[in-house]
């Protein structure tokens, strides 16, 4: 701990200088008097005794200086002197200081803003006990739900699978499961429907009993439920409220504990409140209430998601699962244990009706155990790569800003050569000059960082409001931006590195001053040798700026062209005036045989609305991410060895193809009469016909669903044109449509598609009324137009394109300013030479062309260096592009032309100024 003692002594010497100096003087005088007394005792005269004592002591002032050096006071004093001097210099040059600080604020602020969001999405740990011990048994970037048989690494688990792993593992001290979707349910506070005023909706997270104990979350008020709630289904009607819900809906009332809350038709008891700041394990989802998974049928009625099935390949898959490692257990040991358990379970549960290929497909499943400290974040899968790319782009922008400020400091240093020479002549060493200039650079960097913090706080909030989430909507919920220690450390590192980047070269150059020629030169003028030495450094920095700007311009061009290609993609139908909404029919009691009458009634009401030209219904919807697929057997098609034929599937209502606008190329579509159970019909798309029927006519052929949970056959009655159902980027796959009124499997949620004859806004209210009149038990529907959904699906691409374009324009502007500064300084330093040339007959146009040639020459070198770097960088963003090659000629040309225009504009003003030089004035001043 010696360094702490030394630090305390140095700080005391710095902040209590007067007291320390008095104590030092008193101590030295005490020793001097003792030595004098000893000398007097030897018989010396008083004066002789004093001189002898001084000689023996070594001199009072010398000892004081040695003590100051040992305490580090001299270094701290000179550092404070450098800081004070730097502040005075910045105050004397407000224009230079403002330009440098604004430039640095843009670079540091942009980096801090992106990193703040980067930290919130990709780095932040869950606010729970020892998050490093948590692991994920499912995909932390996944979500949604599914039904059927999977292969490969599992994204989610079914409830029986979770129970098996929870009860048989030997590596976890606790395991829990949570619904991968956050259902919204109607709630009322109080014991009955007549109490507590108007109903509202709440987000209810279904979790297993080990949820709170495994995370280490204790109730702020009351208590949380434990693993006891997992013992019996439907026997634990209790909920834990979030702190925010307790404040907003329960009035922060401690008496709310024990109060009843009605969720759908079931009364629950509020037993506790979570601490503030805890919002679950899924970023972007903020539950209002937590309920036991065993109460699933009350929260999500209409489907049994908990009971084991005859064969696990027919299981409902909907849960995220996490565990806490036992002390001493590694991630690799946990992986080995879970792999053995999961394979054992699969082999015991594989159904007897599977073919060899299906059994192999089913057993080819694994669970990947991953670090779970950051929890679940579907938005991470959507925005992870874009945020990493944006971090790289703002890093390049910061380098350009540093080069700009370095050029300003080089130019300013060239004008201070006489000052540096005088200081060197008076005894200042080179290191002392470098230290002083670095102190000025650090002042600029920290002022820029201070301004950048204000910019970053505003920009990061704006980024979150515009950043698309996992569903394509803006990720404004649950993404909390905080100035935590990672952001602070990052900002400080960026500030320090920035100060070194732009300050070291100018300081090094300024320290290499030649005394004699500099002192002989006129005041304010730098000698030719210094000028010639500076100019190449400044021009090299400008070339670097131009090269980096080209990289950003190229990246922006690639994303702009990619977005344009996506906008030109044909859906296979017209999205205009198509209104969509989805209902949870099963939760409202419409399941099994009740589904068809419900759909008929609602469709009848929708079609009767004035301004509605057609209406239909489907299970998958459009651009909602709800899609299904099964293995199939096709009449007349012989699979190749090891091939497992499959197809995407959709249940559709009568008139679906007319309402949506998908052309029927051969045969007919699905009609109202196709509900008869005797024979199920189907419509296939072009991709299905081309793959499985080649050149044969598919009409009248049989297609059989071979999935064990959905056995059934269909007769093909039509071929529909290919269409994109979920994404503009999706590859057209074989798809088969069959009647919703004669389904292969029961559906819980269904989508309605309404084609409006005019503006969809005018029929929206009528649609909501029609839904409410058909069934008051349904939740209020959220309507979307298909163009809005398509636009939302482009959210991440628009987000990246917009920011890349903004950074590219900022980079081009900074490069242009840097180039202007270099050329303006060049012209100013060559005023005498230009004056002589004009006195000897050079015309202004020739002088102007010479300056412009030099400007364009620098731009061309920058472009030539930047092109291969941009091509190499394009490889890193290929996965984010669509329909654009790594080498896109249009992007290259547009970036080069824009950079050339910036260079020409930057060089025009100095060239025009050079052309207006008066030879007589220039020579007289020289």
**Could you report the per-residue pLDDT of 619-647, keeping only the tens digit for each?**
988 988 778 888 889 998 888 877 788 99
- The 10s digit of each residue's pLDDT in 891-905 is 888 888 888 888 888
Residues 51-67, mean pLDDT to the nearest whole number: 68
- What band does 793 get if pLDDT is binned at 50, 70 and 90? confident
Positive or negative CA dihedral for 513, 516, 522, 528?
negative
Residue 7: which of 64, 67, 76 has the closest Cα?
76
More confident residue, 289 or 849: 289
Angle 133-138-144 (CA atoms, 0-180°, nearest 5)? 135
Range in 595-604, 732-741, 914-923 the model is least confident about = 914-923
Q: What does the pLDDT read at residue 521?
A: 54
Q: What does the pLDDT read at residue 604?
A: 92
- What band does 924 get if pLDDT is binned at 50, 70 and 90? low
Q: What does the pLDDT read at residue 592?
A: 76
Q: What is the 3-state secondary structure (H, E, C) of 315-375?
A: CEECEEEEEEECCCCCHHHHHHHHHHHHHHHHHHHCCCCCCHHHHHHHHCEECCCEECCCC
Range in 282-286, 307-311, 540-544 the model is least confident about = 307-311
More confident residue, 434 or 659: 659
Q: What does the pLDDT read at residue 532?
A: 42
- Is 70 exceeded by the pLDDT of residue 380? yes
Per DSSP, which regions of 190-259 are E strands? 200-207, 221-222, 238-241
- What band does 1 get if pLDDT is binned at 50, 70 and 90? low
Residues 770-797, mean pLDDT to the nearest whole number: 86
Angle 141-147-148 (CA atoms, 0-180°, nearest 5)? 110
Share of the chain above pLDDT 70, in %: 84
323, 172 in Cβ contact below 8 A?
yes
Range in 22-26, 478-482, 741-745 the model is least confident about = 478-482
In angstroms, the Cα distances linking 916 to 445, 835, 907, 925 are 37, 10, 14, 16
Range in 88-97, 187-196, 521-530, 741-750 the model is least confident about = 521-530
253: its two tokens: 């009332």
More confident residue, 790 or 833: 790
Question: Among all chains, which residue has been given the structure tokens 């945020």?
Answer: 387
In angstroms, the Cα distances linking 461 to 383, 464, 480, 724 are 16, 5, 9, 34
- Is 80 exceeded by the pLDDT of residue 327? yes
Residues 381-391, mean pLDDT to the nearest whole number: 84
Range in 113-117, 509-513, 542-546, 834-838 the model is least confident about = 509-513
Q: What does the pLDDT read at residue 164?
A: 93
763, 579 in Cβ contact below 8 A?
yes
Residues 869-873, mean pLDDT to the nearest whole number: 83
Rounded CA separation 691/34 (Å): 109
More confident residue, 142 or 236: 236
- What band does 290 get if pLDDT is binned at 50, 70 and 90? very high
Range in 58-67, 252-261, 542-551 the model is least confident about = 58-67
Rounded CA separation 343/161 (Å): 11
Q: What does the pLDDT read at residue 195?
A: 43
Q: What does the pLDDT read at residue 533?
A: 44
Share of the chain above pLDDT 90, in %: 28
Range in 77-86, 275-284, 483-492 the model is least confident about = 77-86
Torsion of CA 292, 298, 303, 307, to 10 degrees: 40
876: its two tokens: 């890193």
- Is 70 exceeded by the pLDDT of residue 311? no
- What band does 733 get if pLDDT is binned at 50, 70 and 90? very high
Q: What does the pLDDT read at residue 525?
A: 45
More confident residue, 330 or 842: 330
- The 10s digit of each residue's pLDDT in 20-46 is 667 767 777 777 777 778 878 777 887
Residues 337-346, mean pLDDT to the nearest whole number: 92
- The 10s digit of each residue's pLDDT in 232-264 is 999 999 999 999 999 998 888 888 898 999 998
More confident residue, 243 or 881: 243
- Is 70 exceeded by the pLDDT of residue 60? no
Residues 800-808, mean pLDDT to the nearest whole number: 88
What pTM, to 2 d.p., does this model score?
Answer: 0.77
* Mean pLDDT of the chain, nearest integer: 82
Rounded CA separation 379/553 (Å): 27
More confident residue, 555 or 43: 555
Q: What does the pLDDT read at residue 709?
A: 65
Residues 659-667, mean pLDDT to the nearest whole number: 94
Using DSSP, how many helices (H) and how many strands (E) does the chain show? Answer: 28, 26
CB atoms within 10 A of CB 925: 11
Q: What does the pLDDT read at residue 199?
A: 67
- Is 70 exceeded by the pLDDT of residue 587? yes
80: its two tokens: 């404070």
- What band does 331 get if pLDDT is binned at 50, 70 and 90? very high
More confident residue, 634 or 874: 634
Buried b (16+ CB within 10 A) or exposed e, 815-853: bbbbbbbbbbbbbebbbeebbebbeeebeeeebbebbbe
- What band does 914 get if pLDDT is binned at 50, 70 and 90? confident
Range in 44-53, 342-351, 477-486, 578-587 the model is least confident about = 477-486
Q: What does the pLDDT read at residue 193?
A: 44
Residues 828-833, mean pLDDT to the nearest whole number: 72
Residues 64-81, mean pLDDT to the nearest whole number: 61
Q: What is the 3-state secondary structure (H, E, C) of 280-316?
A: CCECCCCCCEEEEHHHHHHHCCCCCCCCCCCCHHHCE
Q: What does the pLDDT read at residue 457?
A: 83
């Amino acid at each position: 701990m010696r360094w702490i003692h030394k630090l305390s002594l140095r700080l005391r010497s710095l902040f209590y200088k007067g007291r320390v100096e008095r104590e030092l003087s008193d101590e030295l005088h005490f020793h001097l008097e003792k030595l004098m007394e000893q000398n007097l005792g030897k018989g010396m005269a008083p004066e002789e005794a004093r001189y002898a004592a001084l000689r023996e002591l070594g001199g009072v002032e010398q000892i004081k200086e040695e003590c100051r050096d040992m305490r580090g006071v001299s270094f701290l004093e000179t550092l404070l002197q450098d800081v004070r001097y730097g502040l005075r210099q910045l105050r004397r040059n407000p224009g230079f200081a403002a330009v440098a600080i604004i430039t640095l604020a843009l670079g540091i602020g942009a980096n801090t803003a992106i990193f703040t969001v980067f930290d919130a999405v990709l780095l932040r740990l869950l606010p729970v006990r020892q998050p490093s011990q948590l692991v994920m048994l499912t995909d932390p970037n996944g979500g949604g739900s599914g039904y059927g048989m999977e292969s490969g690494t599992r994204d989610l688990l079914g409830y029986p699978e979770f129970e098996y792993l929870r009860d048989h593992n030997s590596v976890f001290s606790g395991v829990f499961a949570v619904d991968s979707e956050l259902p919204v349910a109607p709630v009322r506070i109080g014991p009955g429907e007549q109490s507590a005023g108007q109903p509202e909706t709440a987000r209810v997270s279904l979790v297993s009993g080990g949820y709170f104990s495994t995370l280490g979350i204790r109730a702020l008020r009351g208590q949380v439920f434990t693993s006891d709630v997992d013992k019996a289904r439907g026997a634990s009607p209790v909920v834990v409220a979030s702190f925010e819900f307790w404040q907003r809906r329960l009035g922060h009332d401690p008496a709310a504990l024990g109060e009843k809350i009605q969720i759908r038709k079931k009364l629950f008891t509020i037993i506790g409140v979570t601490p503030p700041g805890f919002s679950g394990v899924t970023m972007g989802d903020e539950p209002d209430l937590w309920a036991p998974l065993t109460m699933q049928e009350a929260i999500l009625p209409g489907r049994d998601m908990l009971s084991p099935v005859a064969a696990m390949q027919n299981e409902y898959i909907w849960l995220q699962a996490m565990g806490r490692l036992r002390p001493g257990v590694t991630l690799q040991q946990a992986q080995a244990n879970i792999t053995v358990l999961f394979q054992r379970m699969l082999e015991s549960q594989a159904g007897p009706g599977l073919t060899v290929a299906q059994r192999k497909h089913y057993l080819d499943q694994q669970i990947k155990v991953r670090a779970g400290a950051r929890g679940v974040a579907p938005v991470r899968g959507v925005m992870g790569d874009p945020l990493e790319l944006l971090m790289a782009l703002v890093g390049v922008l910061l380098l350009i800003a540093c080069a700009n400020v370095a050029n300003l400091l080089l130019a300013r240093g060239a004008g201070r050569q006489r000052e540096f020479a005088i200081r060197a002549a008076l005894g200042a060493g080179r290191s002392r000059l470098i230290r002083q200039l670095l102190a000025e650079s650090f002042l600029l960097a920290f002022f820029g960082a201070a301004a950048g913090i204000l910019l970053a706080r505003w920009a990061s909030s704006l980024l979150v409001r515009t950043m698309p989430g996992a569903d394509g909507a803006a990720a404004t919920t649950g993404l909390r931006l905080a100035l935590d220690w990672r952001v602070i450390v990052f900002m400080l590192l960026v500030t320090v590195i920035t100060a070194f980047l732009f300050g070291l070269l100018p300081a090094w150059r300024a320290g290499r001053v030649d005394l004699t020629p500099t002192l002989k030169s006129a005041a304010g003028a730098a000698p030719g040798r210094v000028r010639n030495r500076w100019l190449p450094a400044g021009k090299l920095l400008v070339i670097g700026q131009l090269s980096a700007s080209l990289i950003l311009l190229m990246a922006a061009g690639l994303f702009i062209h990619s977005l344009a290609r996506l906008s030109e993609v044909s859906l296979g139908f017209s999205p205009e005036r198509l209104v969509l909404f989805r209902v949870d029919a099963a939760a409202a009691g419409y399941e099994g045989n009740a589904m068809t009458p419900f759909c008929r009634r609602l469709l009848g009401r929708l079609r009767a609305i004035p301004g509605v030209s057609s209406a239909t219904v489907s299970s998958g919807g459009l651009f909602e991410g709800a899609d299904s697929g099964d293995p199939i057997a096709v009449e007349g098609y012989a699979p190749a060895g090891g091939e497992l034929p499959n197809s995407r599937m959709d249940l559709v209502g009568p008139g679906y193809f007319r309402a949506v606008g998908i052309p029927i190329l051969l045969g007919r579509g699905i009609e109202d009469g196709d509900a008869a159970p005797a024979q199920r019909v189907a419509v296939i798309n072009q991709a299905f016909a081309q793959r499985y029927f080649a050149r044969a006519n598919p009409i009248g052929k049989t297609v059989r669903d071979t999935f064990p949970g959905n056995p059934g056959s269909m007769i093909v009655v039509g071929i529909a044109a290919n269409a994109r159902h979920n994404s503009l980027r999706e590859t057209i796959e074989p798809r088969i449509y069959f009647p919703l009124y004669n389904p292969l499997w029961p559906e819980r949620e269904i989508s309605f598609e309404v084609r409006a004859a005019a503006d969809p806004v005018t029929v929206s209210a009528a649609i909501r009324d029609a839904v409410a009149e058909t069934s008051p038990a349904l939740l209020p529907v959220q309507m979307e137009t298909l163009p809005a959904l398509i636009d939302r699906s482009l959210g991440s691409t628009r987000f990246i394109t917009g920011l890349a374009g903004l950074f590219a324009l900022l980079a081009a502007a900074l490069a242009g300013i840097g180039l202007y500064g270099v050329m303006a300084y060049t012209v100013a330093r060559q005023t005498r030479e230009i004056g002589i040339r004009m006195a000897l007959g050079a015309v202004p146009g020739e002088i102007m062309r010479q300056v412009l040639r030099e400007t364009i020459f620098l731009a061309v070198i920058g472009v030539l260096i930047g092109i291969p770097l941009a091509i190499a960088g394009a490889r890193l963003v290929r996965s984010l592009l669509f329909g654009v090659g790594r080498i896109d000629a249009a992007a290259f040309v547009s970036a080069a032309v824009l950079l050339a225009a910036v260079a020409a504009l930057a060089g025009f003003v100095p060239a025009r100024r050079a052309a207006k030089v008066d030879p007589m004035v220039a020579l007289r001043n020289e």
